[in-house]
C-alpha cells in the first residue's frame, strides 16, 4: 500500500540533558532522525516530510545525505503546529495513509508499519499500544493513592491516519489547547482510533539513560558484512587514466564502456557484494548506451545510496591497484580523499595501495591494469 510519513524533529528535547537536541544526537554512529527516515524508506514509504526547527534545515540535509524521497519544512511553536506544517507539505492525495512519527523513537520497522496500515483499514486512525505494566501511584512527594491499570495503555508512534481526515481533525482542534498526540486530535473529532500491538523497542528517547539503553539495542541488532570487488581494463589510445576518481596523466588511456576507472569499479562491486545486491554490470549494463563514457563516481554513489537506504553504513575500504605504470604514490592522497568523499566516511577509513607483478602477466607486460577492493559494511541484522 502507498503511504506517506511526517517525522517530527523540531523539539529541543531538554530532558535528554545537555548537548544537541535529541533528534540530532548520534546513535550507533548515525543521527537519531536518520534512523526513522531509513526505517520508513526500508518499509516502502513513498514520501517523507521531516519537520525541523528553522535553524536546523542544514543539519537535516547533512544528517539525511544520500537518502531519497524526503524533504524538510520548518516546524511550528508546538508539536501540533509542526505536525500541521508537515501534513500541509505532503504532495500525496488526501486519501493516502499518512504515518506521523516522533523522531525520538528511532527503531520503527516494516513490521510496525504493516500492522498500522492493516488497522487503518477498519478505523479512522491506528496507533501502536502497550499495556501498562507498572503499578501506578497518584501523588506529589507522597503517595495519595493507587491507580488501577485496567484498561490503561501506553500509546506510541508512528500513528496512522488518512491524510485528509487528520488535516480536517486538526482544523477543528481548539487553538487554546495542545494535544499530546495525533490520536487525541482524531478522538476529539469523533474519529474511531483502533489499537494495534506496540513494541517495547519503539521506546522514546527522553532521558540520558534512554540513550544508553538504545546503544545496547543497536549493538545487538547490527551485523558486519564484507564485500570484495575485482576489475581490470586494458590500455588503449589516450593521454591519461582515471583511477579512484582521480585523472592521472599517462601515455595510454584505459579501454572501457564508461571511463574505465578500475579502482571505482572494483570498489563499487565490493560495496554491492557486501549488501548482496549483485554487481556493477547488473545496475549499469555495458550494453546500455547511456553509460557510454560515464563517470564511474556515479556507479559508486549509487551503491553507497543502496547501503544507506537499507539502513547500513560503510565502515572502511581498502583498494589495491596492480600495475607497473602509472606510478600511484604521487596521487595516493588525492585518491583517498576522493574515495572518502564518495563513500561518506572519514579519510582515515580509506586505504589505497599499489603493487606490481614484477613483470609477470598482463599487468607486468603493461597491457592493462587491475584493481582489488574490500569494504566492511555495518547493517541491520
Helix axes 262-274, 332-343, angle to 10 degrees: 40
Strand partners, 125: 161, 193
Give the pLDDT confidence score for residue 15 in this predicted structure: 52
pTM of the model: 0.67
What is residue 291's predicted lDDT score, i.e. its pLDDT?
85
Which residues in 119-213 belong to E strands, given as ranges? 125-131, 136-140, 142-147, 153-155, 159-162, 193-197
Q: Do residues 71 and 49 lie in contact, with contact meaning Cβ atoms separated by under 8 Å?
A: yes
Is residue 365 classed as helix, strand or coil in its secondary structure? Answer: coil
* 3-class DSSP state of 43: coil
Whole-angstrom distance, CA of residue 250 vs CA of residue 104: 53
Q: Residue 171: pLDDT above 80?
A: yes
- At 355, list the grid cell: 603493487
- Of 19-23, 73-77, 281-285, 333-337, the poorest mean pLDDT is in 19-23
Task: Give the per-residue pLDDT at 18.
Answer: 52
Cα 46 off chain centre by? 14
Give the pLDDT of residue 16.
47
352: cell is 589505497
pLDDT tens for 230-243 read: 999 999 999 999 99
Give per-residue burial for 85-122: e unless 16+ CB within 10 Å, then b: bbbebbebeeebbbbbbbbbbbbbbeebbebbbebbee
Does the domain spanning 223-380 belong to CATH 3.30.565.10? no
Residue 349 above 50 pLDDT? yes
Indicate the pairing of strand 350-355 with strand 313-322: parallel
* Distance separating alpha carbons of residues 242 and 249, to the nearest angstrom: 9
CB 268 within 8 A of CB 303: yes
Cis ω on the peptide bond leading into residue 215 (within 30° of 0)?
no
Cα 248 from chain centroid? 34
> How far is 214 from 49, CA to CA, in rounded Å?
24
Q: Mean pLDDT score of the chain, rounded to an integer?
A: 92
Site of grid cell 555495458: 286
Which residue in the block uniquely carries the three cell numbers 535528554?
16
Judge whether residue 62 has pLDDT over 50.
Answer: yes
CA 315, chain centre distance (Å): 15
**Could you tell me where in the chain the CATH 3.30.1330.50 domains are found?**
223-380
Q: Mean of the pLDDT values across residues 278-283?
A: 92
Cis (ω within 30 of 0) for the bond into 150? no
- Please state which CATH number belongs to domain 4-206: 3.90.550.10
- Contact (Cβ atoms closer than 8 angstroms) between residue 43 and residue 5: no
CATH 3.90.550.10 domain position(s) in the chain: 4-206
Residues in the chain: 381
pLDDT tens column, 192-207: 999 999 999 999 998 8
| pLDDT tens column, 65-123 | 888 899 999 999 999 999 999 999 999 999 999 999 999 999 999 999 999 999 999 99
Rg of the chain in Å (alpha carbons): 26
Q: Is 52's pLDDT higher than 60?
A: yes
pLDDT tens digits, one per residue of 238-275: 999 999 999 999 999 999 988 999 999 999 999 999 99
The count of other CB atoms within 10 Å of the CB of residue 271 is: 27
Q: Could you tell me the CA-to-CA distances from 369 to 243, 266, 339 in Å, in that order? A: 10, 12, 19
Reduced to 3 states (helix: H, G, I; strand: E, B; else coil), residue 39 is helix
3-class secondary structure, 222: strand
- Specify whether the backbone of 121 is left (phi greater than 0), alpha (psi in -120 to 50) or beta: alpha
Is the distance from CB of 52 to CB of 70 less than 8 angstroms?
no
* C-alpha to C-alpha distance for 244 and 319, rounded to whole angstroms: 9
- Going by C-beta distance under 8 Å and a sequence separation of 6 or more, which residues neighbour residue 348? none
218: its cell numbers: 543497536
* Residue reference for cell 493516502: 96
The grid coordinates of residue 91 equal 504532495
Grid cell, residue 118, equals 492493516
Amino acid at each position: 500500500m502507498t503511504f506517506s510519513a511526517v517525522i517530527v524533529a523540531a523539539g529541543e528535547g531538554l530532558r535528554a540533558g545537555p548537548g544537541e537536541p535529541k533528534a540530532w544526537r548520534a546513535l550507533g554512529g548515525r543521527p537519531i532522525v536518520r534512523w526513522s527516515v531509513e526505517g520508513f524508506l526500508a518499509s516502502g514509504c513513498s514520501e517523507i516530510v521531516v519537520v525541523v526547527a528553522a535553524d536546523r534545515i542544514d543539519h537535516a540535509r547533512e544528517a539525511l545525505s544520500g537518502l531519497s524521497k524526503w524533504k524538510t519544512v520548518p516546524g511550528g511553536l508546538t508539536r501540533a503546529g509542526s505536525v500541521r506544517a508537515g501534513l500541509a507539505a505532503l504532495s500525496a492525495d488526501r486519501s493516502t495513509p499518512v504515518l506521523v512519527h516522533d523522531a525520538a523513537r528511532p527503531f520503527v520497522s516494516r513490521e510496525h508499519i504493516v500492522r498500522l496500515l492493516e488497522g487503518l483499514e477498519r478505523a479512522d486512525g491506528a496507533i501502536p499500544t502497550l499495556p501498562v505494566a507498572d503499578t501506578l501511584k497518584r501523588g506529589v512527594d507522597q503517595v495519595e493513592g493507587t491507580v488501577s491499570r485496567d484498561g490503561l495503555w501506553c500509546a506510541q508512534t508512528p500513528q496512522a491516519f488518512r491524510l485528509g481526515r487528520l488535516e480536517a481533525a486538526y482544523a477543528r482542534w481548539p487553538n487554546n489547547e495542545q494535544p499530546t498526540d495525533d490520536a487525541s486530535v482524531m478522538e476529539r473529532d469523533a474519529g474511531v482510533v483502533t489499537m494495534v500491538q506496540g513494541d517495547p523497542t519503539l521506546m522514546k528517547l527522553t532521558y540520558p539513560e534512554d540513550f544508553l539503553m538504545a546503544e545496547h539495542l543497536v549493538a545487538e541488532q547490527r551485523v558486519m558484512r564484507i564485500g570484495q570487488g575485482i576489475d581490470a581494463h586494458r590500455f588503449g589510445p589516450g593521454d591519461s587514466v582515471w583511477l579512484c576518481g582521480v585523472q592521472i596523466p599517462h601515455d595510454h588511456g584505459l579501454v572501457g564502456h564508461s571511463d574505465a576507472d578500475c579502482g571505482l569499479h572494483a570498489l563499487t562491486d565490493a560495496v554491492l557484494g557486501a549488501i548482496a545486491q549483485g554487481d556493477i554490470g547488473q545496475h549499469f549494463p555495458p550494453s546500455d548506451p547511456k553509460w557510454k563514457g560515464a563517470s564511474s563516481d556515479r556507479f559508486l554513489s549509487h551503491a553507497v545510496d543502496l547501503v544507506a537506504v537499507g539502513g547500513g553504513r560503510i565502515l572502511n575500504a581498502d583498494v589495491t591497484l596492480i600495475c607497473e605504470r602509472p606510478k600511484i604514490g604521487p596521487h595516493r592522497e588525492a585518491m583517498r580523499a576522493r574515495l572518502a568523499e564518495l563513500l561518506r566516511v572519514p579519510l582515515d577509513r580509506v586505504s589505497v595501495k599499489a603493487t606490481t607483478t614484477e613483470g609477470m602477466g598482463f599487468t607486468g607486460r603493461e597491457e592493462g591494469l587491475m584493481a582489488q577492493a574490500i569494504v566492511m559494511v555495518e547493517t541491520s541484522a
